[in-house]
Amino acid sequence: MYVCLCQGITDSHIRTAINEGCCSYRDVRMTLGVASQCGKCACVAKQVVRETLSDIHSSQLSSAYPAHFVAA
């Protein structure tokens, strides 16, 4: 879906930018230019960044421990 109509940026663009090294909303904004014109997309862009970083964090945690690992 389009997140930023002014720049033609989709949620996929944001996810790709994060997978390629962006680690914050600020990084994504500087890399893609999202929310750099009217700014109406900033809240949605931040949400996509948060969700993507959370997904990455969750997948890293689940791969750090085997499925049969039980915390004491």
Using CB under 6 A as the criterion, which residues of the chain lie in contact with ligand FES when the complex forms? 4-7, 34-41
Q: Select 5 or 30, whichever has its Cβ closest to ligand FES.
A: 5
Q: How far is the CB of 45 from ligand FES (least distance, A)?
A: 7
**Helix (H), strand (E) at residue 3:** strand 2-4
Q: How far apart are CA 66 and CA 48, in angstroms?
A: 28
| Residue with Cβ nearer ligand FES (3 or 18) | 3
- By beta-carbon proximity to ligand FES, the closer residue of 10 and 16 is 10
Q: What's the CA gap between 48 and 21, in Å, rounded?
A: 15
Shortest distance in whole angstroms from residue 21 CB to ligand FES: 22
